């Protein structure tokens, strides 16, 4: 059986020949240039194993590393991870504090991994709300990796889609007020250019782990034509074989964008 055909089997997708799987995916069809992920289920995964929620967040970092490396290797150009939402600030103070410390530690520790894989780190969201230590580590790593040309890894931190759209509307309104923008010329491109993701193509594929069937205030404008892939697997157990399954699913979609194919 040809390798491409073998990839239709979940058992084969999980084989050890990772490089061959990646090449088969590239030969089989289009690799999405931008994948967005809602990394859900850390707490539930930990609870099932008798641990506290933070244990799940720590294990989830391993998934981030594996998925980021796999995306860069297979040919994904942009990977955007929903890391911490504006709603997450409402969680218990101890959990938020632990998450911020984990973020600092992870960004510092993974800097060399990003450099080795030629990955550029970026961030979107209300970053001023992050603790100083987080902002410092984030800014230093973004500067250190700014030449990364293989893939851009974007962390959505203190982010929500409604916050982003509200900010964009305010900036557009200010430009209209200053006479810099004619209201009659405002179009979809105008709005896109005022979002955090300006200059980045919209995601072709959204992966959500943990089984929930919602977008949770994530990239609300950008997901208009994105293909959705939901898995019941919790984020700490989502690794590259499962990413390949998501890409296989994407390759089997018929993306018409509202058009009828004759």
Question: Rounded to whole angstroms, how far apart are CA atoms 170 and 13?
Answer: 47
Q: Residue 183 is encoded by which pair of tokens?
A: 């209201």
Beta carbons within 10 angstroms of residue 237's beta carbon? 15
Domains, in order of start, for the chain: 30-160+202-251 (3.40.1180.10)
Q: Please say whether the beta carbons of 10 and 245 come within 8 A.
A: yes
3-state secondary structure (DSSP) of residue 221: coil
pLDDT value of residue 254? 85
User: What are the residues whose beta carbons fall under 8 Å from the beta carbon of 80, sequence distance 6 or more?
Assistant: 34, 35, 36, 37, 124, 153, 154, 155, 156, 197, 200, 203, 219
Q: Which residues are catalytic?
A: 40, 88
pLDDT tens profile 215-251 = 999 999 999 999 999 999 999 999 999 999 999 999 9
- How much is the pLDDT for 58? 96
pLDDT value of position 4: 45
Task: Give how far Cα 228 sits from Cα of 35, 153, 209, 246, Å.
Answer: 10, 19, 11, 9
**Structure confidence at residue 1 (pLDDT):** 37
Q: How many alpha carbons fall within 13 Å on the CB side of residue 86?
A: 14
Can you give the pLDDT at residue 256?
72
pLDDT value for 261:
59
Answering whether pTM is above 0.85, one says yes
Q: What is the DSSP track for 139-173? A: HHHHHHTTT--SEEEEEEEEE-HHHHHHHHHHHHH
Task: Specify the pLDDT at position 55.
Answer: 95
CA–CA distances in Å: residue 156 to residues 1, 72, 205: 41, 18, 16
3-state secondary structure of 85: strand
Q: Which segments in the chain show pLDDT lower than 70? A: 1-16, 257-262
Check residue 51 and report its DSSP letter.
-
| Structure confidence at residue 66 (pLDDT) | 97
Alpha-carbon torsion 171, 173, 176, 181, what sign? positive
Phi-psi region of 169 (alpha: psi -120 to 50; beta: other; left: phi over 0): alpha
């Amino acid at each position: 059986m040809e390798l491409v055909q073998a990839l239709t089997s979940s058992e084969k997708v999980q084989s050890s020949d990772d490089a061959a799987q990646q090449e088969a995916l590239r030969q089989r069809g289009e690799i999405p240039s931008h994948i967005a992920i809602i990394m859900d289920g850390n707490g539930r995964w930990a609870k099932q194993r008798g641990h506290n929620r933070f244990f799940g967040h720590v294990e989830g970092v391993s998934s981030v590393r594996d998925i980021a490396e796999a995306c860069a290797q297979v040919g994904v150009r942009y990977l955007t991870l929903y890391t911490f939402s504006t709603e997450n600030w409402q969680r218990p103070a101890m959990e938020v504090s632990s998450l911020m410390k984990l973020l600092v530690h992870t960004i510092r520790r993974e800097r060399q991994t990003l450099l080795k894989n030629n990955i550029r780190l970026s961030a979107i969201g209300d970053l001023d709300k992050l603790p100083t230590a987080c902002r410092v580590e984030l800014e230093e790593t973004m500067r250190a990796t700014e030449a990364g040309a293989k893939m851009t890894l974007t962390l959505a931190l203190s982010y929500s889609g409604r916050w982003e759209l509200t900010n964009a509307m305010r900036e557009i309104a200010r430009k209209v007020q200053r006479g810099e923008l004619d209201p009659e010329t405002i179009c979809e491109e105008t709005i896109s250019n005022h979002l955090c993701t300006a200059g980045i193509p919209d995601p072709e594929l959204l992966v959500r782990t943990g089984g929930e069937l919602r977008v949770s205030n994530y990239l609300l404008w950008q997901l208009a034509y994105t293909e959705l892939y939901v898995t019941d697997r919790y984020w700490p157990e989502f690794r590259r074989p499962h990413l390949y399954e998501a890409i296989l699913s994407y390759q089997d979609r018929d993306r018409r964008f509202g058009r009828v194919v004759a």
